[in-house]
Each structure stands twice: as C-alpha cells, then as structure tokens.
Structure 1
C-alpha cells in the first residue's frame, strides 16, 4: 500500500487582528495620555484643542509626544500563540487598529508576524465602519476572519467569515453569536475582586491608622462621637488614597513594566483594563468627598492638601532627589494632622516632629530598597526616580540619621507636658526609646540585606520583629497610665 504525507493546507482567508484590548491587554490612547502626563504635563492642555479637530488628531498628537515601551506591553500570550501557529502555516496576518500608525507599526515590527498594517493617521480614525471600509478596500472585497474585543467591532464581525473574541465580556459574546459565526473565544483572565483589592492597595490603608494617633495620644478613645469621626476620616482618607494609587499606577505604567516586581501590578500586567481604572478614580474621589462632608471643614482642607501634594508627587516630585522623600514624610505626617482636624484634638509640636523624623527615615529606606532591587535586576537606577546607584551610601547615612533623630525627639516628647499631663507614671515611657531604637535599626538592617519589601510600612506590618515591638510599646504605654 502506498501512502503519502500531505502537509496541512494553509487557510487562504486572511486573519485580521485588532490591537487595543485584543493583541495587547491595554488601550494605547489612554497609555499615551498618561505617558504625556508623566513626561510633559503641560502638554495635556492641548487635548481639548486636538480633540476638537477629531479623535484621529488627538491620537496623532499624543503619539508624537509619547514613546511607549512597545516590547514591555502586556501582550495576550494566547493570541500570540495562535498567530505564530497561523503564520507558520503560511496564513496572511493583518494588524488593523484604531491606534495611531506609529504604535501599530512599532508593534508589528516588534512581533514580526504581520504582513500588513492598517491604522489611524492624523486625519482618519480607523474604527468601526471606517475600519471595515479600509479592510474591504485592502482585500478587494475578499473574505477575512477578525479577532477583536469590543462592541464597536460588531459592524466588522457581521461581514467577517468568522469572529474571534478576545477578552470580551459575556454580553458581548452573546450579541456576537447572534450576528456572526464565532470561532474561538479567549476569555479575559484575572479580573476578579481580588485583583481590584490589589489595585486599590487596600493593604496600604494600614498607613491611615495614623489618623487615630491624636485620639490615642489624648486618651479620647472612650468618646463614641470622637471615635466615629475618626473612623469616618479613616474611610474618607483611604478611598482618596486609593484613587491616587490608581492614578499613580496609570502614570507609571511604562516604568512599572520594567520593574521586577511592579510589572505584576494589575494595570501594568494587563489583568485589569486601564479604562476601568480611569473610571474608578473619580468614583473613589467623589465617595471620599461625600464622607468628608460630615466632618469639620478643617479636615476638608487637610484632605485637599494631601490630594494636591500626592498629585504633585505622582506627576513630578517623585523624580526629584530628596524632595521626594521629604514629600513622603510630609504625607505621613498629614495623616496625623487629619486625625486631629477630624476630631478637634490639638496636636503637639513634638508629635509632629517625631512623625517627620521617623517617616523621613522610612522613606529613605524605601528608596534604598529600590536602588538595591534595580541594581540586582539590571544594574540601573530606579526608573522614574532622581537617584543613581552611587547615591546608596548617602541615602543610607541620611536615613539612619533621621531614624536615630526620631529617638531623640521621642525622648524630648516624653518630657513634654503633653505626656506628663496624661500619664501617672510618665518616666516608664522612657522604655519606648530603646524599643524604637531597636526597631529603626532592624528596618535598616533588613533594608541593606535586601530583605525589605518595596514599602517599609508594609514590611513592618508583616514582620514578626516589628509586631513584637508594637506589643512592647503598647505594654509600656499601659504601664505608664
């Protein structure tokens, strides 16, 4: 019996692939806008003028000003695998996208898979019916398969031989199945509530417990009204902080994708659509302001200062050496001030000085950690920061000095009327000094050994040694009452 081996015949119908939300789990228009906000914030003033001319003009102007890290974009590996298989079998692949042609051609060049690129230029926004017309013209009215992710693509799926859904929601799938022949459906991975908890950095809300410090220092924790005001301030502050965290992550997308750990953040990795992050920012801000409406006006002022200072940090101050760590220390101290503003409790000068000193030390430990991580990963300085590797010894010296200075301030605080008026045995509080001295030394030892988390506060919350120090501190304060 004779047998012949016949190679599988290549599909002679081109496969057309969308870019945003399909080939990459992101939106390059939004990314380019945040990149411009990161590198040239004043250029954003031109957006209304560009958009007035048309969306194509807006995309072109942003693309002209923003160079995205094309190699680091969150590509959909499942779709890439399909495209590589089809390409190996000789199938024609076409990238057709509403993104600007600059990015489309860079993506095509990076992947090396596409035979043709159709994209928006300065005059034409290649989306919906316009994209369909361009495809028909390019293919001379021939058949094609189309892979995409959005409702706007339904007009194209209706005329495609076969639809391929990528990262589309269940309602979209139902609509498309009623209108077209659906071949494959790549369901979006990893966008559940746990991913949102990580994106909102709920674990960072522990920092806002500083709002309760004035309450505890003044021994007002038995007053239900005062406690409820502090709790409301905590919630408002936490929601506002999360809105800023989202904004910070969107501004830092390019830098985070080159960081060994931050690349796994929900937006940088593509597990959450960045458009959802853009919508969540004002929602969190509005809810925060609504809660703050029930608190004293002074709290509103502190909340506004915190928001403006955090925005300034996200958009520029974090790139300025030393100013960045001073800003971080100020942001922590503002939490204590917010607690006093919400409850009407007067704050001690020594308490604020103690806060600035200890948090300046922790901010410098954070920067040292980033320098060590990036040096180990690539030998470079932290991306988007104003430091270089040789700054590490100076940061270490300044950080440890600030930490030890906080112990001196604590000693002076213990001897102030703010302490002696509230405790029967204030001399016992002196035992806090060696505890804090040990804790600061431990933080810096862990930092320079490379054992520190990106954020020393988060590390301390998970560190058993730090927990023991907190328990000892609480015991000492109880013994002094």
Structure 2
C-alpha cells in the first residue's frame, strides 16, 4: 500500500528542483563542503513542498481527474488511497519542507515559504485563469533559480533570468497544448483555463517564447565565449520538444525528457558542453 502514496509524490518531477544548482553550475562554481550540504538540504526541502503541492492539487481536482483518460488511473481518483490520509501526508510534507529550509537559513525559509504560497494560490484559484496559470508555473522556476543564486552566493545575470523565465513559459505552454490535444473539446471541463484559450493561441505562444528563449540564451552565452557552442543544442532541444508536442505525444517537460531519448541525449550533451566550456 505504500507504492500508491509514493506515486502521488511525483518523484520524477523533483528533477525541476535541480534549478537550484543552475546558478553555481553555470557560473563555474562547484560547491563543496558545507555549501554543498546546504544545497542538498534545500533541494530536499523544495522536493517535499512540491510533492505536497501535487497532493493538494490531487485532492481538489479528484472529480475532474476522473474525467481524464490518464489521470483517472492515479491513486486518488481511482480510489486506491483515502483522501484523509493524503491530507495528513500533505500537511506533514509542508511542515517538513519548511522546517528543512529554516535549518538552512532564514532566507531559504522565505524562498521555500513563498514557493509553498504560490503553489497554494495556484491550486486554489490561479490555475483557472488563462495566461496567469502559465506565469505562475514560470514564477516557481524563478523562485528556485533565485534561491540557488542566493544560497551559493552567485549573482543571477539578467540574461539567465530571462532565459529561465521564457523557457518555463515555453514548456508550460507546451504542456497546456498537449492537454488540449489529448482532451479535445472536453479540455475545459478538466482545467478551467483551457476553455479560454482560443485555437492557435497556445501554439503561437510556443513559437513566440521558443524564439525568445533562443535569443536570450545566445546573449547569455556571449558572456562565456566557449559556451556559445551550446546554442545549436539549445535550438535542437527547443525544436525537438515543439515537434513532440505538435505530434500529440504529450507536453509534460519531465516526461518528455525521460521518455524521449533524443531529448535526453541533448540534455546530457548540453551539460557536458557546459562542463567543458566553464569548469575545465
């Protein structure tokens, strides 16, 4: 009976919390000793809070998820787990996550607390508002980016800030577009905001933000000459994800990375190129 609860925590989605380590990684700084330990604790704190957010979302969306061809198989909509137990676990995860963040530092507690409030507001109301729902997801990435920069004492450059923001909007839009194409005319019944996106809007937004990501990332690499060679990889990854969404294969960023071998290879190649460019 433990497995359904572990599934609800969405451990694969914890990959998104690696955003905490982007500032030092891209700055050529490999934290060790106490700094690395604090980074691991903060990563764990954000994982706990994000999992609590997924549980809270599942509790509120249980009825709508029963109408979804895939989500209806999740533990809560399928009746495998009890709502009361999920509620208790959700509360414990939030408290544990905020407690860990506080042990790291008061500043990290504020970042993690702000992230928890964002998840709460998003689940309760904001996810029903078109465009606002996408910006909320992007804000979550920016909170983690800034938290990582603050923890490791690395200044987040304006170009990196814009790149992460635009990439988050690009990926979030792709996820929404994937949902629309999967659910068809019933998309609005599952997620309120989807009913307000006119045909072509999400696809156009993907193209717009994808192009903007390429520009801002290219400008960021000009600060680190050898990193400019990763721009073609960036373009290839953007186009591959766009192709995946346009082909109806789903737009969840984490699932796309883990199940699309080409995207996974591109991601590994990009990380290796960063190591060669900055850390050698």
Structure 1 and Structure 2 fold alike (TM over 0.5): yes
**Matching of residues 352-431 of structure 1 within 5 Å:** 352-375=161-184, 379-382=185-188, 383-388=190-195, 391-416=198-223, 419=224, 426=225, 428-431=226-229
The match for 1:327 is 136
Q: Does 1:444 align with 2:250?
A: no
Q: Which is higher, the Rg of structure 1 or of structure 2?
A: 1
Q: Work out which of the residue numbers 84, 92, 110 in structure 2 matches 1:275.
A: 84
Q: Distance in 2 between matches of 1:300 and 1:193?
A: 29
Q: Which residue of 2 aligns with 1:218?
A: 27
Match of 1:475 in 2: 272
Alignment partners' CA distance in 1, 2:263 and 2:143:
23
User: Aligned partners of 2:16, 2:124: CA distance in 1, in Å?
Assistant: 22
Q: Residue deviations 1:197-248, cap 9 Å, x none?
A: 1111111111111111112123332422211111110000000111111111
**2:50 alignment partner in structure 1:** 241
Report the alpha carbon displacement of residue 395 of structure 1 after superposing the two structures with TM: 0.7
Bigger relative CO (Cα 8 Å, ≥ 6 apart): 2
Question: Residue 26 of structure 2 contacts residue 274 of structure 2 at CA under 8 Å; is this kept in 1?
Answer: no
Q: 1:274 to 1:353 in 2, by over 3 A?
A: same
Tell me how far 1:447 sits from its aligned partner: 0.6
Q: How do 1:134-149 residues align onto structure 2 when only pairs under 5 Å count?
A: none
Tell me, which stretches of 5 or more residues in structure 2 are unaligned? none
SS of the residue corresponding to residue 219 of structure 1 reads coil
Cα deviations by residue, 1:72-128 (Å, 9 ceiling, x for unpaired): xxxxxxxxxxxxxxxxxxxxxxxxxxxxxxxxxxxxxxxxxxxxxxxxxxxxxxxxx
- Preserved contact between residue 380 and residue 389 of structure 1 (Cα < 8 Å): no
Rounded Cα–Cα distance in structure 2 between residues aligned with 1:194 and 1:251: 21
More strand by share: 1
Instruction: Describe how 1:106-145 pairs up with structure 2 within 5 A.
Output: none
> Paired residue for 2:113?
304
**Cα distance in 1, alignment partners of residues 261 and 104 from structure 2:** 36
Give the number of the structure whose residues are more often helix, by fraction. 2
The answer (yes or no) to whether the contact 1:360–1:402 under 8 Å persists in 2 is yes
Other-structure match for 1:260: 69
CA distance in 1, matches of 2:191, 2:197: 16
Q: Measured at CA, do residues 318 and 368 of structure 1 come closer, stay the same or move farther in structure 2, by a change above 3 Å? A: same
Of the candidates 255, 261, 264, which is equivalent to residue 458 of structure 1? 255
Measure how far apart 1:306 and its partner are.
0.8
Deviation of 1:390 (Å): 6.7
Structure 2 Cα separation of the partners of residues 267 and 198 of structure 1 = 10
Superposed CA offset, 1:147-201 (max 9, x none) = xxxxxxxxxxxxxxxxxxxxxxxxxxxxxxxxxxxxxxxxxxxxx2221111111
